[in-house]
A and B are shown apart, each in its own frame.
With several copies, the nearest count.
Chain A
Amino acid sequence: MDFGLNETQELIRSSAAEYLSDRSPSDFVRAMATDERGYTDDFWREIGELGWLGLIVSEEHGGSGMDMSDMAVLLAEWGAALAPGPLVESAVVSASAIGNFGSDSQKREWLPTIATGEMVVVPSLVGMDGSTDPGAMGVRASETSNGWVLSGTSRFVPYGNSADLVLMPAETDAGVTVFAVPVKSAEGTVNVNRVKMASGAPACDIELNEVVVPAAAVLGEAGGGADVVGQMMLYGAAARATQMVGAGSAVTDRTIEYVKDRRQFGRPIGAFQVIQHYMADMATKVKSAQHLVNRAAWALSADIDSASASRAVSQAKWTANTLMHDIVWKAHQSHGAIGFTWEHDLHLYTRRVLSWRADFGDSDSHIEILGRTL
């Protein structure tokens, strides 16, 4: 057992904290929340230069060859700073899916540019009904002599209006198959409609009409899409949970500072026992969730069986969903009216934490995954 950071991780933590506090302050977060694309090319290039987009890409393909435990350290800081941009989508979910299921040429072509930030690759994991079951996808593909022809709608694709490639599961005669669709340059009709979401991050409904992609666009085996989707969900859930706990930890710290300063009835409200117990609850919840999300990231890195890793991830996401929800609302209750204003930063956290609950499997789906394995 080791609950500490190694030297590399400590370096990631301190540099991320420092860089993001400088480069992603509240003003930037607010501007990006109403920005059409949700982040800037400058910012993304810098993140790439810092090596963060290639953290878990192999050295052979231009990355650092680190693992999810290392990435978790970055993700916690990323969440704490509410930094914008498709870090989880491109540099974690897509990079790991391509790394694991991609052909040699796919890896050579895509991974190095993911790592630099030149290319953004995002997964499409939401079905027509808003659920994330691979059986619920809205896109169908048929094999023709020209390649595969895709039609249908993918819903709520994160950063779909910036993505160069969307990793898109589709129904085929062979079963669910994942295609890397170059939405900006596809042959055929692609409509990308941005939906205004509570988190401020872009989510897009992408309509494909007779879009043709070559056989080389298939990620993994034709008909083997459920495995690819499964891995994307796993890495996505672990990463998002870690980011959520980072955000919850920052909310807790800020709330503790607030109750020390804010005075009512002649003393700081942090001197009232009920507020003290709220703070103790929040701190205990952060601690509890940190262990489970770190263990999930570790489980995706260490040599343990996949059923155990999957259980660790589902426990982590359910825990992050449940406890961080409690934390943001206790934070609001402790802030009082000021936390109800647009001007105060608290709601920036609230919107994201609540939104992230639905990503990569909601609480219900994860607890049922766990329940079925008992």
Chain B
Amino acid sequence: MWFEFNEEEIAFREELKEFLDQELPDGWIGPNDESSDEGWDLYCRMRRKLAERGWLTMTWPKEYGGQEASPMISLLFAEEMSYRRAPGNDRFGTRMLGPTLMVFGTDEQKRKYLSDIAQGGIQWCQGYSEPNTGSDLASLQTFAELRGDEFVINGSKIWTSMAHRADMMFMLVRTDRDAERHAGISFLLLDMKSPGVQVNPIVNIAGAHSFNQVMFDDVRVPLENLVGELNDGWNVAMNLLNFERGNIDYVSWAQRSWEEIRDYAATTRRFDGSLMIDDMKVRRRLAELEAEIEMARYITYEVAWLQSLGHPPSTEASMCKIAATEVNTAVLDFGVELLGLPGLIDDPDEHEDLAGRIFKMRMYQTSGPILAGTNEIQKNIIAYRGLELPRR
């Protein structure tokens, strides 16, 4: 048992901190808004700079230009990036599609895409969810008919982050309607500029354009863009899904918000002249939340530690999704209530003050316990896979 980072890890974090101090705009609070043009420019610039350091693909094998960084270093990277709310950490290409292509891609596919991803020169998006799938991904209905040497796709994907900015989409489509639901699915790569692709923005409850619905009307994809075998797409996609929940993001966001709330309480006076933080009940609640953040953090670290030993985590990954999203929710709930009326200001011009954005932050966090497998689905996973409880 050891609960500290080693020297290499600490040195890496310092280097990353310096990099971010230098590259992020002065007074950066974040988060970035990729739907604005400035936001998108910043994202692309940061993505390239991160790529130059080799950080985007640090976990990749050396043969693909990676650094074979340990899962713990990789986690530290994500932890610090999220703590700083820094843009540019493209996960679709580097953490999801890249490793998938390494296992299932043809030589041609690897040649064509991996180096672009590594250089931060291409944006991918993920086409999995559909309007009627929700947590039941295998019920997807978007159909790709194989006609000669190309697929013709009709249907729709939804909740597609970055679709309005992406160059390419990796997607799951149904290629055999008669097969059992997990069979009959294929994994395709789609050029987003293909005729028949239409991207419709979805505005979220915080008022931001964070998702899209993507419609496909007779969209043609060449057969060479099939990854893995025909009708084996479920296997291709599931190979990675487990490890890529990005739960450390929620821990970092919780930590950052917690600090902002503490600082607000330490600098805001009540009418009687006392600071908010002079109130023991405020301190007590902050201390409880801090302990809960630590719990979520260590489960997340444990996942990286298990990966570093070559043990694929499954239950632990679900546990940290739950713990991390719950604590981030609790921190923001506390903040909104503590700040009172000033905390209900919802005005982009007041973004620099915590009071002007904490409500929006809370609204964003609504998606935390829902996306990437609702927390209820995570509990099912723990119960079935981890605890081996009976299905009936």
Contacts and interface: CB of A to CB of B under 8 A. Distances in A.
Contacts of A329: 329, 366
Among B319, B329, B374, the most chain A Cβ lie within 10 Å of the Cβ of B319
A283 B392 contact: no
Chain B interface size range: 35 or more
Contact of B284 (A203, A262, A265, A368): A368
Given A288-B299, A319-B291, A337-B134, A279 B283 contact: no
A22 interface: no
Contact of B383 (A279, A341, A368): A279
A197 B366 CA distance: 19
B106 to A, nearest CB: 33
B341 A270 contact: no
B269 A276 contact: no
B146 to A, nearest CB: 27
A350 B136 contact: no
A69 B369 CA distance: 34
Contacts of B134: 262, 264, 336-337
Contacts of B211: 341
A51 B136 CA distance: 51
A1 interface: yes
Among B4, B323, B344, B379, the most chain A Cβ lie within 10 Å of the Cβ of B344
A296 to B, nearest CB: 9
A130 B339 contact: yes
Interface string B128-144: 01001011100100000
B367 A337 contact: yes
B166 interface: no
A164 interface: no
A292 B387 contact: no
B102 interface: no
A130 B342 contact: yes
A259 interface: yes
A215 B374 CA distance: 61
B357 to A, nearest CB: 11
A337 B1 CA distance: 40
A347 B363 contact: yes
Contacts of A203: 341
A284 B382 contact: yes
Interface string B354-391: 00000100110011011100111011101110111111
A198 B336 CA distance: 11
B358 to A, nearest CB: 10
Interface string A291-326: 110110111001010000000000100110000010
A26 B367 CA distance: 23
B370 A337 contact: yes
Interface in A244-295: 256, 259-260, 262-265, 267-268, 270-277, 279-281, 283-284, 287-289, 291-292, 294-295
Given A270-B390, A288-B295, A374-B287, A133 B323 contact: no
B299 to A, nearest CB: 6
Interface string A358-374: 10001110011011101
B27 interface: no
B203 interface: yes
B26 interface: no
A354 B343 CA distance: 11
B340 A131 contact: yes
Contact of B204 (A196, A264, A342): A342
Interface string B321-361: 01100000100010011011111111100100000000100
Interface string B116-129: 00000000000001
A235 B288 CA distance: 21
Contacts of B191: none
B366 A136 contact: no
A304 B344 CA distance: 36
A332 interface: yes
Interface in A1-18: 1-5, 9
Given A256-B387, A337-B371, A277 B288 contact: no
B286 A371 contact: yes
B390 to A, nearest CB: 5
B389 A271 contact: yes
B347 A195 contact: yes
Interface in A206-246: none
Contacts of A103: none
B1 A3 contact: yes
Contact of A340 (B132, B135, B367): B367
B389 A279 contact: yes
B132 to A, nearest CB: 8
Nearest to B2: A2
Contact of B295 (A72, A156, A292): A292
A374 B286 contact: yes
A160 interface: no
Nearest to B369: A333
Interface in B46-79: 72
A2 B305 CA distance: 7
Contacts of A362: 337, 340
A339 interface: yes
Contact of B390 (A260, A274, A342): A260
A341 B3 contact: no
Nearest to B371: A337
A127 to B, nearest CB: 5
A3 B366 contact: no
B315 interface: yes
B177 interface: no
B299 A291 contact: yes
B3 A283 contact: no
A367 B285 CA distance: 8
B40 to A, nearest CB: 20
A42 interface: no
A351 B207 CA distance: 12
Contacts of B340: 130-131, 358, 362
Which 9 pairs of residues, A with B, have the shortest CB-CB distance? A371-B283, A136-B271, A276-B383, A370-B287, A291-B298, A347-B205, A288-B295, A196-B347, A342-B203
21 contacts: A1-B2, A1-B4, A2-B2, A3-B301, A72-B1, A126-B341, A130-B339, A198-B346, A256-B387, A262-B134, A277-B379, A288-B319, A291-B298, A295-B294, A298-B3, A302-B2, A342-B204, A350-B363, A357-B337, A363-B337, A368-B284
